[in-house]
Homo-oligomer: A and B are copies of this chain.
């Protein structure tokens, strides 16, 4: 067996821990080091014998790490962390602020080209696997409609919005796709579906003692952008109930495209769905197989920023091209 691929992790939150676990499930890879902005001594990682270092020490690892997986958030971490690491290392990240992808891509591309490295951005399931299913389905059926449904799963952004409401001590929000809308999307009739028709928002809220629950509920349900365009339900529960019943991180969703072909307009429906027990662990598993691709692309003298659209599927797999053709084609 050839030498193992050497992987570094930057950031050790839920996603970083997921990446560590995913590396263990890929026998052609090993974890070389974890980098953190916290005091490295404060961190206990799951893998024995692997050093935990401050991010500032990363540059001395350039010759020892084949690919760095950047496990920071998109709001503030990655816009700074990404271009800092790109060009020094091959990198993978899960940048998911859709509106800022072109700008982030350009910044990463400049650095990666300069340093002769490969940086694959916006990897995960959306953006990521859902994006792939959109591009495949639209390329096959250019005349049609694509629908994306998310959930049932926790939205961090919406949960954070709940926690900012006065009188709210803690809260969690589930995005729930509406079955009737999914059935309409699957019917092939290409319906127009409004925001309200596609998803429900379910809120589980722990109120501060003495808070006005009616006022909290009103504030939530009328909050623009986050809740006012949806049918939103608010359930008041205790802190214990929140911990007991809502500490898991399940998620998932659906990409459905229906389109037509031929003179008679024959209808076709392509559907992709995910049902995930752990959102961060699944996202991490996607990052890790794209890390394999980044290393292979860089060895093939490719360079610059890439997205999942630029990566040939064979590069993701542990199996050889011959094995893939014989067993999976």
How far is A321 from B311 in the complex, measured between Cα atoms in Å? 13
Q: How many copies does the complex hold?
A: 2
Interface residues of A in 95-114 (CB under 8 A from B): 98, 101-102, 105
Bound Cα distance from A316 to B266, whole angstroms: 22
Question: Are A135 and B101 neighbours in the complex by a CB distance under 8 Å?
Answer: no
Q: How far does the alpha carbon of A263 sit from the alpha carbon of B269 in the complex, in Å?
A: 37
Contact (Cβ within 8 A) B140 A101: no
| Known contacts A22-B261, A275-B269, A325-B307; is-contact A316 B102 (Cβ 8 Å) | no
Question: Which residues of chain A in 268-325 are interfacial with respect to chain B, using CB atoms and an 8 Å cutoff?
Answer: 268-278, 281-282, 284-286, 289, 292, 307-314, 316-318, 321-322, 324-325
A178 at the interface (CB under 8 A from B): no
Chain B neighbourhood of A274, CB < 8 A = 268-271
Does A90 have its Cβ within 8 Å of any Cβ on chain B?
Answer: no
| A210 CB within 8 Å of chain B | no
A122 to chain B, nearest CB (A): 6
Q: How far is the CA of A138 from the CA of B141 in the complex (A)?
A: 26
* Contact status A261-B25, CB under 8 Å: yes
Rounded to whole Å, the gap between the CB of A126 and the closest CB of chain B is 9
Interface contact A289-B139, CB-CB below 8 Å: yes
Partner of A105, one of B142, B316, B325: B325
User: Which residue of B132, B282, B313 contacts A268 across the interface (Cβ within 8 Å)?
Assistant: B282
Would you give the shortest CB distance from A166 to chain B, in whole angstroms? Answer: 36
CB <8 Å contact, B282 and A309: no
| Residue numbers in B under 8 Å from A101 (CB-CB) | 325-326, 329
Complex contacts, A318 vs chain B, CB 8 Å: 139, 142
- Complex Cα distance, B141 from A26, in Å, reads 9
Task: Please state if B271 and A127 are interface contacts (CB–CB under 8 Å).
Answer: no
Question: Chain B nearest CB: distance from A246 CB in Å?
Answer: 16
Residue A214 is within 8 A (CB to CB) of chain B in the complex: no
From residue 127 to 153 of chain A, which have CB atoms closer than 8 A to chain B?
127, 129, 131-136, 138-143
